[in-house]
Amino acid sequence: MPHTITEKILAAHTDKKEVEPKEFILARVDLAFANDITAPIAIHEFRKSGAKSVFDASKIALIPDHFTPSKDIRSAEHCRVMRDFARETRIENYFEVGEMGIEHALLPEKGLIVSGDLVIGADSHTCTHGALGAFAMGVGSTDLAACMVTGEVWLDVPASIKFVYKGKLKKWVCGKDIILFTIGKVGVDGAAYHAMEFTGEAIERLPMDERFTICNMAVEAGATSGIIAPDKITEGYIRKHSKRKPVIYKSDAGAKYAATYEYDLSKLEPQIAFPSLPDNAKDVGKASNVNIDQVVIGSCTNGRLSDLEIAAKILRGKKVYPYVRCIIIPATQEIYKEAMKRGLFDIFIKAGAVVSTPTCGPCLGGHMGILAKGEKAIATTNRNFVGRMGHPESEVYLASPAVCAASAILGRIAHPAEV
C-alpha cells in the first residue's frame, strides 16, 4: 500500500510494517531535547517517576537558549536545574552558553539530526527539523520526561497535506515569503494535527537555510510537523555536519493525502504578516505606510548565515533610520564566528545596528528587545501574537531578512528594491 514519507518514518520506529493516519502508536525516538524554559518542568517530572538514569545519554540534548545568558535570577535558576541534571545523568549533548545556539539551528549544525530520524522537542518549533527529511514534532514537558525514561513517545499518526509549489521566485522572494504566503492561504489552523509536506520545483531549488525556515513555521498553520523529502542538497548538508548515515524516505506515488494545494509562486511578492496572527499575510506594498520602532533579524526562523548575509548586502554603506533599533542575532556561535570572519558585523555596526550573542531573546518577549506600549516592530521571527514581543499594546510584523533590513534603513516597512 502506498504511504507518505511521514508514515514511512513513523512505521520504521515501531514494530509495525506500516501505520495509518489517526493510528495511536508507541514510537522509538532518535533525539529528544528541551530548552531552559521547558527542561526544568521535564526534569521535575522525571524525578517524580523515580527513574535514576535516562534511557540513552547520547540521545538527549539540553540547550539553554531562551533567556540566556541568564537575564534574571529566575532564569539563572532554570539554567542551573538543567546544568545539574546534565552533569548528574551524564547527558552528552548539553550546550553551555559559550557553545550553545538557538536549539533549532544548533542541533542540525551539530549533526545530531539526519534524514529518517524521529525527533521530539519540548518546543513548538521542533518541526524545523523536518527540512532534513526527519519526522520532528513538538511535545509537552511531561511527554519529554516520559521519553527521557523510556526512549519512546506515544503519538497519533498525522494525516499529510501536500503543498506543491511551482514557478521561479522573483528577486528578494525567499522561503520566509513562501511560508507566510502559505499560512495566509490556509490559516493558522488550516493544517491542524496534520503533517505539512512541502514539494515542487520551487522547493527543490531552495538551499537548506530556506527549507529550515519553511518547516519551522509549519506549526503556525497548526501542523504537527513539516517535512521536505531529502535530495542532493539535503544529503550535502548532512555530509558536512554529521557522521551519522541518513535513512532516505520519500512518499510513494498514490499515497493518500488529506488535501493537496498547488501554488504558482512566479508572481509572489515579499510577504508581511500583519498583527496579530501569522496568517494575516499581505504583499509588502500594502504595509509601506507602517512606521517602525524596532527591527529584529534572527531567531530559529531566520538567524542563519545566509539570512545575515542578505541583511548585510542591504545594510552595506547605509544607515539605520534615526530612532529605530536594529537588533541582529546570529542563531549559533558558529554562525556568529563565520559572520564576524566575513566582515558582516562591521557592516552592521557601521550601519548603526547592534549584534547580540545567540539567544531567542526578543522573539518571545524574553529580553534583548522588549517593546514598549504603542511601539511597532518588524521581525524575522515566527509569531506576532498580541504581546508576543512585549507590551500587549505593541505590534509585531513578520517578514524576511531582506524586508527587515530595508525597513531598518527607511524607518518604515519597505520592499528591498527601495534601497
To 10 degrees, the CA torsion angle through 351, 345, 101, 328?
0
**Single residue among 262, 293, 315 that ends a domain in this structure:** 262
Residues 200 and 277 in one domain: no
How far, in whole angstroms, is CA 328 from its chain's centroid?
16
Q: Which three cell numbers stand for residue 205?
A: 531549488
Residues 110 and 211 in one domain: yes
Distance of alpha carbon 336 from alpha carbon 31, whole angstroms:
25
Residues 256 and 404 in one domain: no
Sign, Cα dihedral of 164, 169, 174, 179:
negative
pLDDT for residue 141: 96
**Single residue among 233, 262, 291 that ends a domain in this structure:** 262
> Would you place residue 253 in the very low, low, confident or very high pLDDT band (cuts 50, 70, 90)?
very high
CA angle 272, 108, 401 (to 5 degrees): 20
Full-model pTM: 0.97
Q: How many domains does the chain have?
A: 2
Q: Which three cell numbers stand for residue 403?
A: 524586508
pLDDT for residue 56: 98
Residues 210 and 333 in one domain: no
Q: Which residue has the cell 545539574?
A: 84
Q: Give pLDDT tens digits for 42-83.
A: 999 999 999 999 999 999 999 999 998 999 999 999 999 999
Q: Give pLDDT tens digits for 165-206.
A: 999 999 999 999 999 999 999 999 999 999 999 999 999 999
Report the residue count for the chain. 419
**Mean pLDDT over residues 18-22, rounded?**
96
How far, in whole angstroms, is CA 382 from its chain's centroid?
8
Residues 216 and 280 in one domain: no
Residues 199 and 300 in one domain: no
For the chain, give the percent of residues with pLDDT over 70.
100
> Would you place residue 413 in the very low, low, confident or very high pLDDT band (cuts 50, 70, 90)?
very high
Residues 287 and 314 in one domain: yes
Residues 154 and 234 in one domain: yes
Task: State the residue range of the domain holding 77.
Answer: 5-262
Backbone angles phi, psi at 393, to 5 degrees: -100, 15
CA angle 87, 107, 231 (to 5 degrees): 150
Residues 292 and 195 in one domain: no
Residues 281 and 249 in one domain: no
How far, in whole angstroms, is CA 252 from its chain's centroid?
27
Residues 277 and 258 in one domain: no
Q: Which residue has the cell 531549488?
A: 205
CATH number at residue 193: 3.30.499.10
**Single residue among 211, 241, 262 that ends a domain in this structure:** 262
Residues 244 and 309 in one domain: no
Backbone angles phi, psi at 239, to 5 degrees: -60, -35
